[in-house]
Amino acid sequence: MKAMLLAAGLGTRLRPLTETTPKSLLPISGRPILAWNLLLLKHHGITEVIINLHHKGEQVVEALGDGSRYGMRIAYSHEPSLLGTGGGIKQAAPYLKDGPFLILNGDTLSECDLTALIAAHRDAHHTDGAPATLAVREDADAARWGAITLDAQSRILQIKGEPPIARSPGALREPFMFAGIHVLEPAVLDAIPPGPGSIIDVYISLLRQGRPLHGYRMSGYWSDIGTPKRYADAQRDAAEGRVRPAALSIS
């Protein structure tokens, strides 16, 4: 299976750090955030990766090269103008269209069990025809992130309150948040409209069409490195051993 790391963002909330360095290369315990994600992928047997680039993208290419240092093969998708998560995935379609693929936000730190996520998607696709499975996690601030509602079979009913659904007492679980990690079938590429856009809007559109998206309840460490406080928290967590690279033998 191939994977895509989304790393084209401007990182405006982390300025001035990101004025000279792309957010995905900010260090956590001496490793760029992107390297942590590469190690996670490698740990789960995924060695073919494409990374989308925009802000200071040349620094990412210089830092990671062709991936051989990690025992991986890295390709790049350059975006002269930002395309968003949906548009970025659409542009990388020629690389991803051969089979199911994994998407990770390149600015998150996670211990998500990708092997279990992929297995959950294969089961959901086989039994329900699900075109995508999203890793979700419980969070007290789920509504702030964009709450996701699941039914008892882990089918996604709503994302950010859309589409409207009839409430059945006892049938719905508490809201979750999307962890920015998902497995997609190639058919999703056809559902993404051309131009800039969000993959979340595509998922909401699929739900409105009655397409069965599924959620995978992840556990373990997760952090979005989006603000100075969360960056400082992640640095502290790594220093204190709360999260560790998936493959410590790679320097």
Q: Please list the pLDDT of the chain residue by residue as tens digits (251 residues).
A: 999 999 987 666 767 656 677 888 888 888 899 999 999 999 999 999 999 998 787 889 989 999 998 999 999 999 999 899 999 999 999 999 999 999 999 889 999 999 999 999 999 999 999 999 999 988 767 666 678 989 888 999 989 888 877 665 555 667 788 999 999 999 999 999 999 999 999 999 999 999 999 999 998 899 888 788 888 888 888 888 888 766 444 44
What letter would DSSP give residue 210?
Answer: T
The pLDDT value recorded for residue 161 is 82
How far from the centroid of its chain's Cα atoms is residue 143's Cα? 18
Residues 6+ apart with CB under 8 A from 169: none
CA separation for the pair 175, 64 (Å, rounded)? 37
Please give the helix or strand (H or E) that residue 191 lies within, else none. helix 187-191
pLDDT at 248: 45
CA-angle at 19, arms to 15 and 20, nearest 5°: 135
Residues in contact with 158: Cβ distance below 8 Å, sequence separation at least 6, in sequence order: 147, 148, 149, 165, 207
The pLDDT, as a whole number, for residue 236 is 87
CA–CA separation, 17 and 231 (whole Å): 11
d(CA 216, CA 142): 15
CA distance 49 to 5: 7
The structure's pTM equals 0.90
What per-residue confidence (pLDDT) applies to 11? 61
Q: Which domains does the chain have, with CATH numbers?
A: 2-239 (3.90.550.10)
